[in-house]
Structures are given as structure tokens and as C-alpha cells.
Amino acid sequence: MSETPIASATLDAPSTTPPTGSAGPAPAARPGPGAAPLLTPLGLLTVLLGAALPLIDFFIVNVALPTIDHDLHAGPAMLEMVVAGYGVSYATLLVLGGRLGDMVGRRRLFLWGLSTFGLTSLACGLAPDAWTLVAARVAQGAAAALLLPQVLATIQATTTGQRRAKAVSLYGGTAGVSSAVGQVLGGLLVSVNLAGSGWRAVFLVNVPIAVVAWLLAARTVPETRSPHPSRVDGPGTALLATTLVTLLLPLTEGRAAGWPVWSWVLLAVFPFAAVAFVVVERRAERAGRTPLVPPSLFGIPSVRSGLAMIVPFSVGFGGFMFVVAVALQSGLRYGPLAAGVALVPLCVAFFLSSLAGPRLVQRFGRKVVITGSLIQGAGLLALVLTVRAGWPDIPVAALAPSMTVLGLGQGMVLPVLLRIVLSELPVAQAGVGGGVMVTTQQSGLALGVATLGTLFLALLPSAGIRDAFLATVLAQLVIVLGTTLLGLRLPRTMR
């Protein structure tokens, strides 16, 4: 491996260099001395399974919150902490997880992440009270931060050309579909109430999946690490954690707690922490040290423009998934299962369009992202018209056309954006680059819940559920239009 950017397919033409080696049943086959190990199809399936777990768990708890409240007498503020505790610890530690994988080995961190994620999921499922559940969710988020960055870093280090393009598209499809699948699966598990487990099943289901993924990973995922590992950047880690906590914690928890003084104090600290983080990281890089988030990463056009578009996309997606779950259950009186089933067309369309992404990109370049964003906007408009015409008697089937169009557009956007961000990353920065990208995506999802969710809940008392939902969807439409304009700044090719 070298420090030079990894060769990748262009956006306008397919790579002419076929991958070496063949897909076998185990990672033992090596293409040659000194060459990077290859990720087999089963190995790719395994890391994608590992990626799906933390992404599903960010959303799976949404439909279970009413039963958690009933069983544990949690209250609104505590329920917000069940969600926020996971999201904040997850987002805060993602970049550190990527750096640790670069240092000690991505396969090793992937296995440790699966183990701790399974154990913390068990702790969530067995929690006797609300405070124990919150603590277990914080630990579960930390485990997810160890696990997820290793997926993209492993793909970067063990695939090339069209194999990488397909793998990244599959990862993008997994990332998007897992968010919706989380709510579908959560509704199913709560409705079935296996052995009287109720809400606990949404956490306990992770345990056998984590065990299977661990056994598969031990046999099929090759070990990779940075060729020049560096020490952990302590000051940068502390300042990044402070920056994210002072932004995400008050935005996700402040409303439920009645916006107490501490929430405003944290928001006031946020800009100072952010500036201090940037200054410290720049000084570290100028001094020849390796910062947690190297500022030079943002000098790469594909990274800078891709991340700039991932932020608003994730804000809109995260806010929509939260608001639609509330509107379907509280406004249309869907049960947990029906609310989940309503999102199935979105899941299927997202996944199918993400699979078509590599071929579309080869022919149309960045126009795929712009077109996908416009299709997403059309889906939101169709949903607005459906809700205005049919509320409050809208069957699940009536939502399918708009959800399908929405998922089709989103599936054309996210996987391509992920591919663009990763296209010029050096091998040595695969872990930290993947961590930065996933942190950006995760923070955007949390901001979406906080901003669009707060708008929706603030409008409820005066406007009612229907009009509050319509106003929120129209706000997301404005975000989508801004995202479309940002698409014009994406690079035309990926080197």
C-alpha cells in the first residue's frame, strides 16, 4: 500500500483495470506478495451486515417508545435520552473509531465492535429501569462507533475499480435502507410481542445477528491497517467530542426538558469548541503530527463537495423519518406494524436505485445526483398532495406511489455521494475519512430530528397534525432544492 490516492473508476467512464484474484470462500487467498488482500463476496456481505446493525438501531427504537414509556414509566425527557444517548455517543466517537481501526487493524476493531454491540444490546433488552436503559444505549452507541467506520475502510483497502464502485453503492443502499428498515422491523417486533418481550425484542434481536456476523467476519474479512499508523490525537478527540456534544445534546434533549439553562449554556459553548477544534487540528498538522481529523482532507475537492451535500441530505432524511413515524401513528392512527409497512415501498425503491447507481454514474456522471434530488422533491410533492386530499382516511396503499418515488430519488443520491467522498482518499486515511463521512451523516440525521422534528412538534398545538406534517414536508422540500444546487459543485469525475 502507498500514501497516494487509491485508483478508482471515473464518474464518466468505467474502470478498464479488472480486479485481480477471484472471489473465494475465505480471505486466505492473496494475489501476490505485498498486495492488499481481497474482500470476497461473502466478506462484503458480512461487513454490510455489520454496518446495518448500528444504522437500524438508530431508528428501530422510535416505534417502541410508547411501550417503553408504559413499562418503565420513563416520561418524555427520559425517552428523549434513550434516543439521544445512543446518537450522541455514536456520532462523537465515530472518527476515533476510524482512527483506532487504522492503527490496530480494521478487522480486529470490527470484531470487537460486533462483540460489544451484541453485549450492550443484551443490556438494553434486559434493562430493569429507564436509567439503566439510557446507560446501556450510550454504551451501545459507543460500540457502534467502533464497528461502523471499519466497514468503509475495509472496502477502501480491499477493493478496486468497479468492484469498489459496486461495494460502495451496496453500502450506500444499506445505509439508506437500514434507516427505514429499522422502523419497519421495530413495528413488526413490537406488534408480534415474542414471548411477551414487547419493546425488549427490538434490542434482543441484535444479539443472534451479532453472533452470526462475528463468526462470519472471523473467517471472511481480511485484516487491513494503515501502513503508517499514528498515535491517537488526545486534544483533538476531546475537542471534537465537546463540539458534537454541545450541539447535539441540547438540540435533541432540550425541547423535552423544557429548554433549561444548561441547554442554552451548551449551545453557547458550541461555537467556541468548534473554533478551538479547528485551530488545534491545523496546528497539529502544521507541526507534522497526525490530527484526529486532518484539515488537509477538506482540501480534496471530492471530500469537500461531497460532505457539503451529505449534510442537508441527512438533515432532511432524519427529520422526515422521525416526523412520518409520529404522523402515521398519531394522525392516521396506524398501528406500529402498519406504520412500518407504509415505508416498505421507500425501502425497496431506495435499494433498487442504489444498485443501478454505478451504471448510471458511468454514463451520466454527477447528473445522477442532481436528477435523484429532483426525483426526491417530486416524491415529497406527491406525498403533500396525497395527504391534503385524503386526510385522515388514507390507507397504507395510497401512500405507496409517493413513497416509491421518494425512495427512488434518495437511492440515486446517497450511494453516489458516499462514492464521491471516498474516491480520492489515500489508503492510509481510509479509516479516518470513513469516520468523518459517517460522523457527518450521523450528525445530520440527529440535526434533522432536532430541527424538523421541533418544527413539527411546535406547530402541532395550533395547526393540528395534518398541517404540521405538511409544513414540515414543505420545509424538507426547500432543503432538497438547496441540495440540488449543491450538486452542481460536485466533481465531474472521480480519480
Who has greater pLDDT, 140 or 441?
140
Residue 136 in contact with residue 82, Cβ under 8 Å? Answer: no
What would the mean pLDDT of 171-186 be, rounded to a whole number?
77
Does the structure show a pLDDT above 60 at 149?
A: yes
**462 to each of 331, 332, 467, how far by Cα in Å?**
15, 18, 9
| Percent of residues, the chain, with pLDDT higher than 70 | 89
In this prediction, residue 6 carries a pLDDT of: 36
This prediction has a pTM of 0.78
Does the structure show a pLDDT above 60 at 178?
A: yes
In this prediction, residue 7 carries a pLDDT of: 34
What would the mean pLDDT of 432-442 be, rounded to a whole number?
78
In this prediction, residue 123 carries a pLDDT of: 96
In this prediction, residue 35 carries a pLDDT of: 54
Q: Which three cell numbers stand for residue 353?
A: 436505485
Of the listed ranges 11-20, 128-137, 419-428, the least confidently predicted one is: 11-20
What would the mean pLDDT of 97-106 be, rounded to a whole number?
85
What would the mean pLDDT of 78-99 be, rounded to a whole number?
80
Does the structure show a pLDDT above 80 at 429?
A: no
Does the structure show a pLDDT above 70 at 20?
A: no
Q: Which three cell numbers stand for residue 99?
A: 482512527
| Percent of residues, the chain, with pLDDT higher than 90 | 29
What would the mean pLDDT of 256-273 be, rounded to a whole number?
90
In this prediction, residue 2 carries a pLDDT of: 36
What whole-number distance in Å separates Cα of residue 157 and Cα of residue 433? 12
Q: What is the mean pLDDT of the chain?
A: 82
What whole-number distance in Å separates Cα of residue 135 and Cα of residue 150? 24
In this prediction, residue 173 carries a pLDDT of: 76
Strands of 296-357, DSSP E: none
Does the structure show a pLDDT above 60 at 62?
A: yes
Does the structure show a pLDDT above 90 at 125?
A: yes
Of the listed ranges 6-10, 156-160, 253-257, the least confidently predicted one is: 6-10
In this prediction, residue 109 carries a pLDDT of: 93
Band (pLDDT 50/70/90 cuts) for residue 36 is: low
In this prediction, residue 21 carries a pLDDT of: 38
Q: Which three cell numbers stand for residue 339?
A: 406504520
> If you write DSSP's letter for every residue of 416-433 in order, what string do you get?
HHHHHHHTT-BGGGHHHH
What whole-number distance in Å separates Cα of residue 146 and Cα of residue 107? 11
Q: Which three cell numbers stand for residue 247?
A: 450541539
Q: Between the CA atoms of 293, 298, 304 and 310, what dihedral angle is there, to the nearest 10 degrees?
A: 10
CB-facing half-sphere around the CA of 224: CA atoms within 13 A: 31
Element containing residue 439 per DSSP (H, E) = helix 430-486
Who has greater pLDDT, 458 or 273?
273
Does the structure show a pLDDT above 50 at 402?
A: yes
In this prediction, residue 495 carries a pLDDT of: 52
Helices (H) and strands (E) in the chain, counts: 17, 0
184-238 per-position pLDDT tens digit: 788 788 888 777 788 899 999 999 999 999 999 999 999 988 776 667 778 888 8
What would the mean pLDDT of 33-38 be, rounded to a whole number?
60
Which phi and psi angles does 426 have, rounded to 5°? -65, 150
Band (pLDDT 50/70/90 cuts) for residue 5 is: very low
In this prediction, residue 492 carries a pLDDT of: 67
What whole-number distance in Å separates Cα of residue 493 and Cα of residue 412? 17
Who has greater pLDDT, 400 or 319?
400
355 contact partners, CB below 8 Å, separation of at least 6? 169, 170, 173
372-399 per-position pLDDT tens digit: 999 999 999 999 999 998 898 899 999 9
What whole-number distance in Å separates Cα of residue 180 and Cα of residue 331? 19
Who has greater pLDDT, 118 or 156?
118
Find where cell 477544534 sits.
277
Q: How far is CA 484 from the centre of its chain?
A: 20
In this prediction, residue 23 carries a pLDDT of: 37
In this prediction, residue 493 carries a pLDDT of: 61
Band (pLDDT 50/70/90 cuts) for residue 14 is: very low
Q: What 3-state DSSP class applies to 5?
A: strand
CB-facing half-sphere around the CA of 190: CA atoms within 13 A: 23
What whole-number distance in Å separates Cα of residue 54 and Cα of residue 144? 5
What whole-number distance in Å separates Cα of residue 172 and Cα of residue 420? 11
In this prediction, residue 77 carries a pLDDT of: 67
Count of beta carbons in the 10 Å neighbourhood of residue 129: 12
288-344 per-position pLDDT tens digit: 887 888 888 888 888 888 898 999 998 898 888 888 878 887 888 887 788 878 888
Q: Which three cell numbers stand for residue 292?
A: 484526529
